[in-house]
Structure 1
Amino acid sequence: MLYELLMPFADFGFMRRALMGCIAISLSAAPLGVFMLLRRMTLVGDALSHAILPGVAVGYLLSGMSLVAMGAGGFIAGLAVALLSGLVSQRTALKEDASFAGFYLGSLALGVTLVSVRGSNADLLHVLFGSVLAIDGASLLQIGAICSFSLLALAVIFRALVIASFDITFLRVGAGRWQLPVHVLFLGLVVLNLVAGFQVLGTLMSVGLLVLPATCARFWSNSLSGLIAIAVITGILSSLIGLEWSFYAHLPAGPAIVLTAALAFCFSVCFGRCGGIFRA
């Protein structure tokens, strides 16, 4: 029984690389997802996952299926949308969520158009939905470098993020000059993780391992450390089970991973010990 469960990873290198990539993303993206949940920014993450598409498309037009070029373009585009949305919300009466919605819808349409200009439907599907089983050694190293940097940067701003999540007034009064840099760096880390996730799950579903594990954790713990630990574990288990499921049921791997995380969310909503429907 145990051999049957581990057989795909023992016998096939592409399955091991896919799992390692998903684990790396879970380790760095899940803690960011927890802070996005606490700051009520989960839909911002979804908007940013679409916003990186034009940059990915420009990288594709310039260099073909070069993950470095596409990742760099996606990071620049996502960060630009985040900064522009914040600027518009500050200078106008429009709220930040509405500003993000306007920019990300335009970005999504522009990205799909740019990819379609030069590429085929297969290229468009690869960009939108990823190809987790096609991760090679170079891609895995890039994902690992991004996730390692993200964890180090998160450690630097961790205390400020905790304060911003629970007492934004204190941050504004006690260290007002740090509020904007911390927020911008946090958004930058979110975009960076979405860029890493796009290589695995595509631009449309890269937000899955960012948001879903964090929302699951909310139903199982009320402490910050517990939320982060449960979110990371949920992301890793969703990746493992999703890859197993896709292998034996002949399903696309990326959607299987996100669907597994979504099923974990539904289970948590129903039976979570911290506010679950049947445990309230």
Structure 2
Amino acid sequence: MGAAIYDFLFSPFAEFAFMRRALVACFALALSGAPIGVVLMLRRMSLFGEAMSHAILPGAAVGFLVAGFSLPAISVGGIVAGLVVALAAGAATRATDQREDASFAAFYLIALALGVTLISTRGSAVDVMHILFGSVLAVDEAALLLLGVVASLSLLIFAAIYRPLLADGFDPEFLRSVGGGGTLYHFVFLGLVVVNLVAAFQALGSLMAVGLMMLPALAARYWSRSLISAMAVAALIAALSGYCGLLLSYHADLPSGPSIVLFAGGGYLLSLGFGRQGLILHWRQRRHLEA
């Protein structure tokens, strides 16, 4: 019995190098992406991550058209496209009375349509599916190195801007009064979001990349009362989602990216129902008050 459980849980990673690379990639994405997702949630920018995951598509498509499935070309193209959309939407918000979420929605829809159109001009339906949904099992050493570098640099930069970023989110007037550049920290943070989504894009594709960033962050809020603990819980949920999703995809012969995001979604639903601040607790408190 014990040998069967061990084989089920660990043998895929012990026997196959591509499974180990995929697992390390998921862990790297969990460590850097989940804390960023928590801050996005607190700043009420959850849909920004979704918008940016689609905004990188035109740049990735241009990189694909120029060099095929070239990691450097797709990464550079995705970063450029994401930053252009982020800056354009931010500028439109500050120059007009349009809300930021509306600006991002408009620009990301344009970017998504443009990206799919560009890929379709030379690629096949298989190429479109690969770009949209990725393949974490195909992560090679170069992509793994990129994910490791992005995760390390993201954590360092995030730690450096952590305090002023929170001050800008909770009390921007105070930050301006002490000479802090709230706008600068905001755009640095947006850059971190874009870079992490581009890194996740290599493994999970455009449509799935934001899932491992936002779903664990949304789940963590039902278990944590402090920001630091929420980030730790989100990273743990993201890492477990990656591990369980890879196991499911291996044993059930299912797509790896959607399997990982489905486990992250399952973690969110369980947290929503059974978390310390979830629906069941609210239901019990309501019954207690009514009694």
Normalising by structure 2, we get a TM-score of 0.94
The amino acid of 2:201's aligned partner reads: F
What is the DSSP-based 3-state SS (H/G/I as helix, E as strand, rest coil) of the residue aligned with 2:244?
helix
Letter in 1 for 2:188: L
Q: 1:261 is matched with which residue?
A: 264
Amino acid at match of 2:124: S
Aligned-partner Cα distance in 2 for 1:47–1:203: 10
Q: Which amino acid aligns with 2:51?
A: A
Matched, 1:34 2:38: yes
Of 185, 189, 204, the match for 1:186 = 189
| TM-score, L = length of structure 1 | 0.97
Deviation at 1:205, TM superposition (A): 1.0
Query: In 1, are the aligned partners of 2:165 and 2:182 still within 8 Å (CA)?
Result: no
Q: Does residue 145 of structure 2 align to residue 174 of structure 1?
A: no
1:130-279 matches, within 5 Å, as 130-176=134-180, 178-274=181-277, 276-279=278-281
Structure 1 residue 244: Cα displacement: 0.6
Paired residues of 1:56 and 1:74 also in contact (CA < 8 A): yes
**Aligned match of 2:22:** 18
Within the candidate set 8, 12, 33, 1:4 is matched to 8
Equivalent residues in 2 for 1:63-78, closer than 5 Å: 63-78=67-82
Superposed CA offset, 1:104-136 (max 9, x none): 000000000000111111111110000110011
Does the CA contact (< 8 Å) of 1:35 and 1:161 recur in 2?
no
Distance between the aligned counterparts of 2:229 and 2:6, measured in 1?
29
Residue 198 of structure 1 deviates from its aligned partner by 0.2
**Between Structure 1 and Structure 2, whose CA radius of gyration is higher?**
2
Structure 1 residue 111 corresponds to structure 2 residue 115: yes
CA-CA distance at 1:94 after TM superposition: 1.1
Stretch of structure 1 that moved more, 144-153 or 166-175: 166-175
Question: 1:122 aligned to 122, 126, 142, which one?
Answer: 126
Contact 1:54-1:107 at 8 Å conserved across structures: yes
Deviations 1:74-131 (A, max 9, x none): 0010011011001001111211111111100000000000001111111111100001
RMSD over equivalenced CA pairs, Å: 0.9
- TM-aligned CA deviation for residue 138 of structure 1: 1.1
2:9 corresponds to which letter in structure 1? L
For 1:108 and 1:136, the matched residues in 2 are separated by: 26
Q: Distance in 1 between matches of 2:8 and 2:252?
A: 14
CA distance in 2, matches of 1:197, 1:153: 18
CA contact (8 A) 1:35 1:165 kept: no
- How far has the Cα of 1:166 moved from its partner? 2.7
Identity of aligned residues (%): 54
Off by >4 Å, runs of 4+ in structure 1: none
d(CA) in 2 for partners of 1:249 and 1:49?
27
Q: CA deviation at 1:155?
A: 1.2
Tell me the secondary structure at the aligned position of residue 278 of structure 1: helix
| Alpha-carbon distance between aligned partners in 2 of 1:142 and 1:43, rounded to the nearest angstrom | 25
User: 1:51·1:78 contact (CA, 8 Å) conserved in 2?
Assistant: yes
**Matched length:** 278
CA contact (8 A) 2:241 2:260 kept: yes
Whichever residue aligns with residue 279 of structure 1, its letter is L
What is the identity, as a one-letter code, of the residue corresponding to 1:256?
S
Aligned-partner Cα distance in 1 for 2:248–2:179:
48
